[in-house]
Amino acid sequence: MINLKNRLEEIVKQGKLKPNEPLAQYTTLKIGGPAEFFIETNQPQELSALWKLHNHSQVPTKIIGGGSNLLFKDAGFSGVIIKLSNAEYQLDHSQQLPVVTFPAGYSSHLASLKVLELGYSGFEGLHGLPGTIGGAIYMNSKWPKEHFQTADNLISVDYLNSEGELITVLKPALRFAYGYSSFQEKNWLILSAKFAFRPEEVAEIKRRYTNVLNYRRTTQPIGVKTAGCVFKNITPEEQSQNNLPTASVGYLIDQCGLKGMQIGQMAVSVVHANFFVNLGQATAQEYQKLVQIVRQAVKTKFKIDLKEEVDFVE
Ligand SMILES: Cc1cc2nc3c(=O)[nH]c(=O)nc-3n(C[C@H](O)[C@H](O)[C@H](O)COP(=O)(O)OP(=O)(O)OC[C@H]3O[C@@H](n4cnc5c(N)ncnc54)[C@H](O)[C@@H]3O)c2cc1C
């Protein structure tokens, strides 16, 4: 452990790992104290060395993509934060359908625009989605309106295992569900993902993109500090078992009269009650207090335990 810490400190001296880097700036909630060590990279060798170090030591390590589904503690993070930076996409026409490889640090929204530019459909649900391809795979980010899930067009993922080795896994060997991927149960670092797309008339794809964006603009708070949905929506089974009027958690929270409820500078959005908004300098503690209050209110009124969607980094 001490040797590994020394090694990290050596890398710090080389200027690659920054000490005491404030994390709030790397998350859309704009909350979080400093990381003990921070590195932004897309270099496979660097990532492999760090990942191996992490797995062979007790140095806690966390990956950030776009930070749009993450909450860091006010005290920050003791260990190493790895932020995946952007890299180039690759296009392969040699397959039956066009295949595009996106690096994990590629912005999901920009990936949707790239796919549109190439004249392919299949990334409509990523249009307007904050964050990166790595985060979207990890969360299997979804667009429930069109029943889209990130894994829909997935062929394979390249990742680093705990030995820092590069492995390619085909989609059938992974599990994906609503807001879930096998990556949530593994200690793997996603490097890139391959997707197959279908050529389609650009005007038609554009029409669907516009619908997604319009729906986002009318139903979600825009231009605010938020991490999107705080709680996972309810499954159809939970809805029928509990005799709930809807599977939309936003609606249930609204029915508890909690829209606009505020703890310190953290508030339940008045636009979408499943979004919490940092009104200024909110803290992680305020966020969690609000989570507790909302969860308890929904449990009392609807007898259902809400599950958190935002990843709270201990
Ligand atoms: C305004 C707003 C709207 C949103 N709308 C939606 C929506 O419509 N649908 C939806 O599903 N979500 C939505 N979200 C939530 C969020 O944007 C998505 O979950 C997004 O895909 C997360 O990507 P990210 O890169 O920001 O992940 P991060 O927040 O950076 O990370 C999320 C998790 O993934 C892990 N991770 C990230 N990259 C990697 C990697 N390369 N390898 C291994 N693990 C990794 C992180 O460690 C963390 O545990 C919204 C959020 C906001 C702020």
Q: What is the pLDDT of residues 74-118, one digit of tens each?
A: 999 999 999 999 999 999 988 888 999 999 999 999 999 999 999
In this model, does residue 1 exceed pLDDT 50?
A: no
For ligand 1, atom 37, name the residue with the nearest CA.
135
Place of tokens 């899930």: 149
Residue 2 is predicted with a pLDDT of 47
Query: How many angstroms is it from 68 CA to the middle of ligand 1?
Result: 5
Do the Cβ atoms of 16 and 39 come closer than 8 Å? Answer: yes
Query: What's the number of CA atoms in the CB half-sphere (13 Å) around residue 154?
Result: 27
| Ligand 1 geometric centre to CA of 257 (Å) | 28
**Residues 6 or more apart from 70 whose CB is under 8 A from it?**
27, 29, 64, 227, 310, 311, 313
State whether the beta carbon of 104 lies less than 6 angstroms from ligand 1.
Answer: yes
Q: Which residue has the tokens 């979080």?
A: 32
DSSP-derived letter for residue 52 is H
Q: Is the pLDDT of residue 146 over 90?
A: no
Angle between helix axes 44-56 and 2-13 (nearest 10 degrees) is: 150
Which residue has the CA at smallest separation from atom 43 of ligand 1?
189
Tell the CATH topology of 90-216: 3.30.465
Check for a shared fold between 2-84 and 221-313: no
State the Cα–Cα distance between residues 298 and 253, nearest whole angstrom. Answer: 6
Query: Does residue 63's CB lie within 6 angstroms of at least one atom of ligand 1?
Result: yes
- The CATH class of 2-84 is alpha beta
Which residues contact residue 306 at a Cβ distance below 8 angstroms, ignoring those fewer than 6 apart?
Answer: 231, 232, 249, 294, 295, 298, 299
Pocket test for ligand 1, best of 71, 139, 277 (most atoms within 8 A of CB): 139
Residue ranges per structural domain of the chain: 2-84, 90-216, 221-313
> In the 8-state DSSP scheme, what is residue 42?
-
Burial of 162 (0-12, 13-18, 19+ CB in 10 A): middle
Tell me the per-residue pLDDT of 291-307, one tens digit each, with 9 for 90 and over.
999 999 999 999 999 99
Cβ of residue 141 lying under 6 Å from some atom of ligand 1: yes
- Domain 221-313 sits in CATH 3.40.50.300: no
Find all residues with CB under 8 Å of 94, minimum gap 6, and list them.
none
What average pLDDT does the segment 117-122 reach?
95
Q: What is the model's pLDDT at position 5?
A: 60
Q: Is the CB of 151 under 6 A from ligand 1?
A: no
Amino acid at the residue 39: I
Using alpha carbons, select from 66, 72, 76, 77 the residue that is nearest to residue 126: 66
Asked if residue 136 has its Cβ within 6 Å of ligand 1, the reply is yes
Which DSSP helix (H) or strand (E) runs through 116?
helix 108-117
Which residue would you say has higher pLDDT here, 205 or 55? 205
Write the DSSP symbol of residue 232. Answer: P
Instruction: Categorize the per-residue pLDDT at 276 as very low, low, confident or very high, splitting at 50, 70 and 90.
Output: very high
